Chains A and B, each alone.
Chain A
């Protein structure tokens, strides 16, 4: 029996032992008057010096190349000066502990960062990235060496200073054998792949770390550091106006509703006023620098017909302490998008020839411009003679593929050619009970470019329903309506937000919301299943996901694949690949997906040749034992 199988007898033993353990607790109840009751606010933060470094810290704070912290700057957190704060920060780099590191971060950011980090580390341990005993406060295996640090300070405001590392070096080292990785993952990682990391020379690549002053102490601020870097890169002057926090809302739902309504109407100034003071100070202070330009672009888009409105929002609200996760249960998003002058897919060009590829390796057939595309390949002769002038046309030839049943995959005919639509296209998305129903001109137009995808149901009245929970708002992404096909106006679904209560008022927490999105990725991974190809994290681990591998391999002859891919597939008695293994080894997947056979549909005896047309763009074709060279 597996050790993690539920066992009522053992659970009863645990219950009994815990009661016995509890009985060892003191029984005497001291009088309240005997206890020195000190209000929380008057308590002093203990000095801490934290040792060790965290691999997770390396990843999460990689942008700063620094992790770990030692809050050694006195009885309270932070430093007496901006440089003190950074020095304490840097001193801790040579130690460890991400959670402890956050103790010296701007108090407006630290709580939510600690919560987020702890949750991410916990979830990472649950799915098997880390071992179950990982503690974000003490993650061994990564060390950093800082030498010869020289700092300078730009006091950009009374409460804000930017400390620059003018000289010094930093070198991170990661000992994978000491990192508390999950067992399955550790087995798959080749330690030889990880040598010493590059030395950072601060004289060449100076770090600019923003520090903020809170009640007389200075703290490192992530959000101000990012905002300052953006301001400096864009050449903007330092913002004159201080942040003016919004008034907050009576409850989490009201805060979330206000945010989405403002965001949908592209009212950036109002949207950021919903953010929590403290953690959003940098956004509120710096974003107005870019507001004029943003508003100009938004005005142009509106002039072209852009309107978006969110209504009928209903939420599932989970309160945890002073924070709440606000998950939309239902909403309606409707409006119109500007006309597209750049269709997502190129239309059929009747003035160009069409090249029909034969996947069995015998070559291709070229249909002259103006000739109809036949339904089947019957009567056509494959060739490997590539006309010299085929690629000389500006748009190049149309392209079609011969299906296994002998029919030719039909792309666009002259009649199907899509003209640019000069009018704005309306859309409406109703989401409720896990399903979205999409309607409007955009949905209809999208179908001209792509057939109805699996999982999308045509309701017959111009509406299309998708209940595919694997891809959020899949009906939208399938139709390419908004985010993907239409310039990323906004995400295809209304995602969850985190809100926070401050002095009795509710605000949207921007950092917490980012954490929610990260945690949502983990939520779909089963316990210990980090290596599963079905995991949403598979694409990060393997570089490809299951559907991509299946698309490339299933149906092909095993003999075509070569030894690299044979280890990760299941084959029937005819030698045809029928499936991909559930949990293939990381190296096996990489070996397969990096092999020529994986990407080559033409068989193992195919030579991949490059064609360099007149415009210089390199195009690769797979043609059996042939060399095609087109010169200008």
Chain B
């Protein structure tokens, strides 16, 4: 028998964290919400039987994101447009707060600090992240946003630990190349 009281608690305590992960992977608010809610629907009835529901929930969220990635290329492009707007707004606010205002490259942080990578705005980063394969993107999000270990990421991505390391290393290399 499902324990929806426990599910509610889990939902309230973990919803935002799950949403951050899903948003970073899918790049889209609606898709992220769908993925997280779908995951809760799938995990909810089993919550009472799980010793540690959080890792299980995280796997479910990533799986939902993967499904979306696979099946909705069109939605993905749509999401990219939304993401561009969201992060562009973020960059605009960030630049304004620094007193730089808009740059000659539009809403990104190009040109603010020359060739220093840290000077690139979130738009560039999100765009570069977008270009990674699903596995590389997810591995990087789980590593650097969720601070998960190789073993934990391997369990989520259903691959070997060495493959996780490879995804992360290659993903970082791609990001550096795109941002440099």
Tell me whether A32 and B8 are in contact (CB under 8 A).
Answer: yes
- The smallest beta-carbon distance between A504 and chain B, in angstroms, is 11
Asked whether B95 is an interface residue with its Cβ less than 8 Å from the other chain, the reply is no
Complex CA gap A527/B19 in Å reads 33
Residues 383-405 of chain A, each 1 if its beta carbon lies under 8 Å from chain B, else 0? 00000000000000000000000
Complex CA gap A138/B19 in Å reads 27
Tell me whether B140 and A18 are in contact (CB under 8 A).
Answer: yes
Tell me whether A135 and B145 are in contact (CB under 8 A).
Answer: no
Interface members, chain B 131-180 (any A CB < 8 Å): 131-136, 140-141, 144-145, 154-155, 158-160, 162-163, 166-167, 169-170, 172-177, 180
Take A13-B117, A21-B87 as given contacts and tell me if A40 and B42 are in contact as well, using a CB distance cutoff of 8 Å.
yes
Residues of B within 8 A of A48 (CB): 71
Interface members, chain A 116-150 (any B CB < 8 Å): 118-119, 122-123, 125-126, 132-135, 137-138
Residues of A within 8 A of B117 (CB): 10, 13
Residue in chain A with minimal CB distance to B134: A135
Residues of A within 8 A of B44 (CB): 37
Tell me whether A21 and B159 are in contact (CB under 8 A).
Answer: no
Stretch at the interface among A22-30, A160-168, A225-233, A453-461: A22-30
Residues of B within 8 A of A123 (CB): 163
Tell me whether A11 and B144 are in contact (CB under 8 A).
Answer: yes
Q: Which of A19, A32, A46, A523 is within 8 Å of B145, CB to CB?
A: A19
Tell me whether B41 and A100 are in contact (CB under 8 A).
Answer: no
- The smallest beta-carbon distance between A92 and chain B, in angstroms, is 14
Complex CA gap A119/B157 in Å reads 10
Residues of B within 8 A of A320 (CB): 154-155, 158
Residues of B within 8 A of A99 (CB): 70
Tell me whether A17 and B59 are in contact (CB under 8 A).
Answer: no
- The smallest beta-carbon distance between B138 and chain A, in angstroms, is 12
Tell me whether B70 and A26 are in contact (CB under 8 A).
Answer: no
Asked whether A574 is an interface residue with its Cβ less than 8 Å from the other chain, the reply is no
Q: Which of B86, B136, B173 is within 8 Å of A3, CB to CB?
A: B173
Asked whether A115 is an interface residue with its Cβ less than 8 Å from the other chain, the reply is yes
Q: Which of B37, B154, B172, B180 is within 8 Å of A14, CB to CB?
A: B172
Asked whether B45 is an interface residue with its Cβ less than 8 Å from the other chain, the reply is yes
Complex CA gap A17/B118 in Å reads 9
Complex CA gap A126/B29 in Å reads 31
Asked whether B12 is an interface residue with its Cβ less than 8 Å from the other chain, the reply is yes
Interface size class of A (residues with CB under 8 A): 35 or more
Q: Which of A13, A17, A25, A132 is within 8 Å of B136, CB to CB?
A: A132
- The smallest beta-carbon distance between B65 and chain A, in angstroms, is 13
Asked whether B108 is an interface residue with its Cβ less than 8 Å from the other chain, the reply is no
Residue in chain A with minimal CB distance to B173: A4
Complex CA gap A406/B87 in Å reads 79
Take A3-B177, A21-B126 as given contacts and tell me if A133 and B19 are in contact as well, using a CB distance cutoff of 8 Å.
no
Residue in chain B with minimal CB distance to A22: B20
Q: Which of A4, A39, A118 is within 8 Å of B169, CB to CB?
A: A4
Complex CA gap A134/B170 in Å reads 13
Q: Which of B71, B73, B90 is within 8 Å of A24, CB to CB?
A: B90
Tell me whether B37 and A132 are in contact (CB under 8 A).
Answer: no
Residue in chain A with minimal CB distance to B41: A37
Complex CA gap A27/B29 in Å reads 11
Asked whether A240 is an interface residue with its Cβ less than 8 Å from the other chain, the reply is no
- The smallest beta-carbon distance between A113 and chain B, in angstroms, is 14
Complex CA gap A6/B71 in Å reads 34
Complex CA gap A602/B168 in Å reads 52
Tell me whether B15 and A29 are in contact (CB under 8 A).
Answer: yes
Residues 1-29 of chain B, each 1 if its beta carbon lies under 8 Å from chain A, else 0? 00010011001100110011111100001
Take A17-B125, A24-B90, A32-B11 as given contacts and tell me if A134 and B133 are in contact as well, using a CB distance cutoff of 8 Å.
yes
Asked whether B32 is an interface residue with its Cβ less than 8 Å from the other chain, the reply is yes
Complex CA gap A135/B129 in Å reads 16
Complex CA gap A13/B128 in Å reads 13
Tell me whether B86 and A126 are in contact (CB under 8 A).
Answer: no
Asked whether A38 is an interface residue with its Cβ less than 8 Å from the other chain, the reply is yes
Asked whether A214 is an interface residue with its Cβ less than 8 Å from the other chain, the reply is no
Asked whether A20 is an interface residue with its Cβ less than 8 Å from the other chain, the reply is yes
- The smallest beta-carbon distance between B135 and chain A, in angstroms, is 6
Take A17-B122, A35-B37 as given contacts and tell me if A22 and B21 are in contact as well, using a CB distance cutoff of 8 Å.
yes
Asked whether A379 is an interface residue with its Cβ less than 8 Å from the other chain, the reply is no
Asked whether A7 is an interface residue with its Cβ less than 8 Å from the other chain, the reply is yes
Complex CA gap A107/B10 in Å reads 32
Residues of A within 8 A of B132 (CB): 133
Take A25-B23, A100-B70, A115-B158 as given contacts and tell me if A14 and B16 are in contact as well, using a CB distance cutoff of 8 Å.
no
Complex CA gap A601/B8 in Å reads 78
Complex CA gap A269/B134 in Å reads 42
Tell me whether A22 and B125 are in contact (CB under 8 A).
Answer: no
Residue in chain B with minimal CB distance to A132: B170
Complex CA gap A403/B12 in Å reads 80
22 of the cross-chain contacts (CB-CB < 8 Å) are: A3-B180, A4-B169, A4-B173, A7-B172, A11-B172, A13-B118, A17-B125, A19-B145, A21-B122, A25-B22, A25-B24, A32-B7, A35-B37, A38-B41, A46-B71, A119-B158, A122-B163, A126-B166, A133-B132, A319-B155, A527-B166, A527-B169
Given contacts A18-B140, A37-B44, A133-B132, 8 further A-B contacts (CB under 8 A): A4-B172, A10-B117, A10-B175, A21-B23, A21-B24, A35-B40, A100-B70, A320-B158
By a beta-carbon cutoff of 8 Å, the part of chain B in contact with chain A is: 4, 7-8, 11-12, 15-16, 19-24, 29, 32-33, 37, 40-42, 44-45, 59, 70-71, 73, 86-87, 90, 117-118, 122, 125-126, 129, 131-136, 140-141, 144-145, 154-155, 158-160, 162-163, 166-167, 169-170, 172-177, 180
By a beta-carbon cutoff of 8 Å, the part of chain A in contact with chain B is: 3-4, 6-7, 10-11, 13-15, 17-27, 29, 32, 35, 37-40, 46, 48, 99-100, 115, 118-119, 122-123, 125-126, 132-135, 137-138, 319-321, 519, 523, 527
Instruction: Return the 4 tightest CB-CB contacts between A and B, nearest first.
Output: A22-B20, A25-B23, A4-B173, A18-B145
